[in-house]
Amino acid sequence: MKKWVWLLVGLGVLGSNSCQKPQELYKDPREVHLRHLKRLTHGGANAEAYFSPDGRYITFQSNMDSLPCDQIFLMDTTGKVLRMVSTGKGRTSCSFFLGPDKIIFASTHETMGPECPENPLVWKLIREQHVYAWPLFNYDIYVRDLKTDSLYKLYGSPAYDAELEGPSPDGKIVFTSAKDGDIDLYVLEPPYDKPPRRLTFTPGYDGGSFFSKSGRYVVYRAHHITDSTELKQFREDLKNGFVRLGHMEIYVYDMERDTFWQVTHTPENVTNFAPFMFPDEKRIIFVSNLHAPGQWDYDLYMIDIDGKNLERVTYKGTFNSFPMFSPDGKKIIFASNRAAEKPRQYDIFIADWVD
């Protein structure tokens, strides 16, 4: 075998069989629900990729080309990056298609200036105490009109407003905010000129929400706090601009009945997040370290909305997250480090979904 082939084998670019299909480099044989797996990005931290309403395009956040912090980009399903959607300033998060020609996302570029905001206390907790913490920067919600290339603010408060998704079939947008002294879900209704309606009121964290296809359900992650000592720590963390995201469970909110229920019931050292409902509205795909409690080792799982029939979906890499189905349910997109050549590299993958 030629030297360059041995080099590629050593780098993990090729397997021992040089005729190996590309997807076999990235796919574990146990991942029976994934077919024709394809890598769309190549390097950097790429995450939170979501389909357009027609399934032809993808919006995602990335620090590609050595950007100081994440910005929002648009690409097609072949992996061709078409443009930057955000301003290139501040820190951005949580983008989604607001119809075929508009993209909503959260950004700090006006509230906190053009530089990347930081919270040193968060990094200290992560590095020294291995605490999974999330900074609550002062994000506002913006809309990029792709037809006119205009940008305007849809909503903002003097607090964290992010983790947004929508619209539901009747135009609602759901997002997470800390504006009322807790971290809860809120809904904006068209024409988006009135204050949002608060959905959740239980002390603790409620976020990462998505509408079901019909708009009847909202699936989300939450950590509800009943212990007084923990609640005191939670509120102190909020004052310092962050939240500790340790144990979290998956919940469903029924918009028609104005009620919610807990779907997963896992040990205290398990983190469940990034839920998305199947188009049939009977199942949820989500992320968990249930197979490796307390460790940074996350895979996709699926479960019925009544908490039955839990099944693990992915097995390769140590981070598989942010799953979303195409509108027709035939494809799935997610972020993974299964092809990483360096630490903190996450790429976007797309595959056909097999039931």
Domain count, the chain: 1
Q: Rounded to an integer, what distance in angstroms lies between the CA atom of residue 161 and that of residue 141?
A: 7
Query: Identity (one letter) of the amino acid at 87?
Result: T
- Residue 3 placed within a domain: no
- Residue 1 placed within a domain: no
Q: Which residue has the higher pLDDT, 344 or 349?
A: 349
CB atoms within 10 A of CB 128: 8
Quote the pLDDT of residue 119. Answer: 93
Residue ranges of alpha helices (H) inside 167-316 are 228-239
Cis ω before 195 (30° cut-off from 0): no
Task: Report the run of H or E that residue 261 belongs to, with start and end.
Answer: strand 259-262
Quote the pLDDT of residue 133. Answer: 86
Look at the block and give the residue holding tokens 């029976």: 32
Quote the pLDDT of residue 128. Answer: 85
Phi/psi for 28 (5° steps) reads -85, 140
- Residue 260 placed within a domain: yes
* Residue 8's pLDDT band (cuts 50, 70, 90): very low
Closest CA to 220 of 250, 263, 189: 250
- Residue 92 placed within a domain: yes
Closest CA to 111 of 153, 143, 71, 67: 153
CB atoms within 10 A of CB 319: 21
Q: Rounded to an integer, what distance in angstroms lies between the CA atom of residue 245 and that of residue 132?
A: 5
- Residue 9 placed within a domain: no
β-bridge mates for residue 347, sequence order: 336
- Residue 8 placed within a domain: no
Averaged pLDDT, 314-335: 97
Quick check: 185 and 172 in contact, CB under 8 A?
no
Tell me: the pLDDT tens digits for 277-321?
999 999 999 999 999 999 989 999 999 999 999 999 999 999 999
One-letter-per-residue 3-state SS of 185-210: EEEECCCCCCCCEECCCCCEEEEEEE
For residue 280, give both structure tokens: 């049939």
Q: Using DSSP, state whether 3 is helix, strand or coil.
A: helix
Tell me: the pLDDT tens digits for 153-164?
999 999 999 999
Tell me: the pLDDT tens digits for 96-140?
999 999 999 999 999 999 999 999 999 888 888 877 788 999 999
Q: Does the pTM of the predicted model rise above 0.75?
A: yes
Q: What is the DSSP letter of 289?
A: -
Phi/psi for 129 (5° steps) reads -115, 0
Query: Identity (one letter) of the amino acid at 330?
Result: K
- Residue 200 placed within a domain: yes
Q: Find how far residue 132's CA is from the centre of its chain.
A: 15
β-bridge mates for residue 273, sequence order: 287
* Residue 22's pLDDT band (cuts 50, 70, 90): low
Range of the domain at 287: 21-353
Check which CATH number belongs to the domain holding 308 and give it: 2.120.10.30
- Residue 296 placed within a domain: yes
